[in-house]
Structure 1
Amino acid sequence: MADWQPGPGEGGGFRRRRRLRIRLREGSRLNRLPARSLLPNILTTLALCSGLTSIRFALEGKFELAVAAIMLAGLFDGMDGRVARLLKGTSRFGAELDSLSDFLSFGVAPVVLLYLWALQDFSGLGWIAAMSHAVCCALRLARFNVAIDDPDKPVWASNFFTGVPSPAGAGLVLLPVVLSFSLGDVPFRSPYLVSVVAIGVAFLMVSRLPTPSFKRIKIHRDWVLPTLVFVGIGTAVALSYPWQVLGAMILAYALTIPFGPWSYKRAERRAAERAAADVVVAEETPKV
């Protein structure tokens, strides 16, 4: 039996129905998102929920739990971008969601905690100090989103942030709170000290100061085992003395900030030297 062919009056309708079925199949495939693009957004949502939970704990006066929730948000925030790049699931939607989550978790939640902890009785100056951190965090995130699309940014510059990133800013501004948990409220609960720290960190976030990103740290094979031992011991110490270890980590990061411009200039100088060497090699290579 010969294959069926559309009759003279059926060809147009047959082709239209076939094109319609093809479009429906293609649309069905387009409406399905791979799981790898969903996992980073789940982590970002968990960070957002942690920031909201921190505000709840602060309103209830549970300041230790509030700080812990912000630190947990920082953990999720550090994971989502790396997971997205690993699974090749980056998207513009994920980037926008991450910025909104960062603003709430590291811009709003810390200042709500600080205001209720030490600044609410400091007249209007306490609110100004708290608000300056939130506003500068929003400006810093907006500048970061614009810089993502900069095609002229050199590769080596990705090892540095412009200004203090918002998660690190949250840790720095909460340093008086963390130190008070292990050393007592005096003098760390002073509204004058907290206000100076909040305003200082706010300016660091919107500054042009290059700070290390620690994203591309590579460990030599010979140091893998000692690193794992150090991580194991550090975890045990952190579980036994959480606030002391957290305070030491924040102070250690603060000490790296003054070395940021020096490291940036050195990386820039090395990149210029490599570019000049490549030009010399290209000029000396004989043309065939």
Structure 2
Amino acid sequence: MKRPVFKPAVFRKRRARRPHPRLKGLSINHLLPNVLTVLALCSGLTAIRFAMHERWEQAVVCIVIAAIFDALDGRIARLLNGQSKFGAELDSLSDVISFGVAPAFMMYLWALNGAGSLGWIAAMAYAVCAALRLARFNSRLDVDLPPWAFNYFTGVPAPAGAGLAILPMVIGFEAGPDIAGHPAVVVPWTLAMGGLMVSTLPTFSFKGMRVPTQYVVPGLVGVGLLAASLVSQPWWTLAFLGLAYLASLPFSVAQFRKLQQAAQMMKETEETPVEEAVVSAPETPSSQETTKTAND
């Protein structure tokens, strides 16, 4: 009986199939927030262009559009899990231009130049305050805040500060620039808005705000009325929103202090039973013997 002849080729190792090549690069989810940030930057730069041609209304609209893009990019990044260090840095650079340089440039060309050097100082001070506010925000990104402080900003955020800075211009569209655009009004107003941005006042962030179920329908009706007001009376509506935000600052400070005091009282309540248990603990036999020996 012949033995079977085994050919070496039969036992050759099969070559592993090459996996399909994967596409390198960022996904759309990671890219979309950065696209919105770039659009906000372009809108801020366009506001500067309109201000150079004294087209003030279009410049204000560009600032509003930049604020909308700025509000969307962060939320979309969190929803799509597209947060990145690059996006955070790009967002801050965009905010410096759109909400720091652009409003200062607009206000200087509109009214601050009438105050001479003092007006230029006010414009520069506002832009510097915006940059400092954003630098402080970036330095605290990795700081763990207590749960009760999560819904608060430190100082007025840059988009809100920009809206408040150009508030005299918005009011001047309807009431006239004689009073709203007077250097005696605009110079201290611009300095005050810059000071609010670098202040330590706790302001509402509206990040974790939840609408109760019974207020959902009235809230949607209010959004519809707000949209109708923006279409029919855009400047008075924007002025009302700015003044309403200013009026909310004392309430945000009071609410923050109330939560801070409640957290402090809760902490003291938790520490008190532990201290009482340590004081009222009975002496151990070894400690009693040590005390007796010392007395002898």
TM-score bracket, shorter-length normalisation: 0.7 to 0.9
| Residue 151 of structure 2 is aligned to residue 159 of structure 1 | yes
Q: d(CA) in 2 for partners of 1:259 and 1:221?
A: 23
Q: Report the equivalent of 2:294.
A: none
| 1:115-194 → structure 2 map (5 Å cutoff) | 115-151=108-144, 153-194=145-186
Aligned residue type for 1:206: V
AA matched with 1:219: V
CA distance in 2, matches of 1:257, 1:120: 30
Query: How far is 1:231 from its partner?
Result: 1.0
Counterpart in the other structure of 2:246? 254
Look up the equivalent residue of 2:165 and give its one-letter code.
V
**What runs of 5+ residues in structure 2 fail to find an aligned partner?**
1-8, 276-296
Instruction: Give the residue type in structure 2 aligned to 1:269.
Output: Q
Q: Does 1:106 align with 2:99?
A: yes
Question: In 1, distance between residues paired with 2:104 and 2:254?
Answer: 31
> Shift in Å at residue 3 of structure 1?
4.1
Structure 1, unmatched stretches of 5+, are: 7-13, 284-288
Give the counterpart of 2:73 among 80, 86, 101. Answer: 80
| 258-267 or 132-141, larger mean C-alpha shift | 258-267
SS in 1 for 2:153: strand
Structure 2: how far apart are the matches of 1:176 and 1:3? Answer: 86
Specify the alignment match of 2:291 in structure 1.
Answer: none
* Partner secondary structure for residue 46 of structure 1: helix
TM-score (normalised: structure 1): 0.86
Q: How many residue pairs end up in the alignment?
A: 266
**Which aligned pairs between 1:40-55 and structure 2 lie closer than 5 A?**
40-55=33-48
What is the CA deviation profile of residues 165-205 of structure 1, one whole-angstrom value per residue up to 9, with x for unaligned ones? 11110011111001001111120010121110111111111
Cα displacement (A) at 1:5: 4.0
The CA RMSD measured in Å over matched residues stands at 2.3
Larger Rg: 2
Q: Percent identity?
A: 47
TM-score, normalized by length of structure 2? Answer: 0.84
TM-fit CA distance, 1:248: 0.1
Whether 1:4 aligns to 2:33 is no
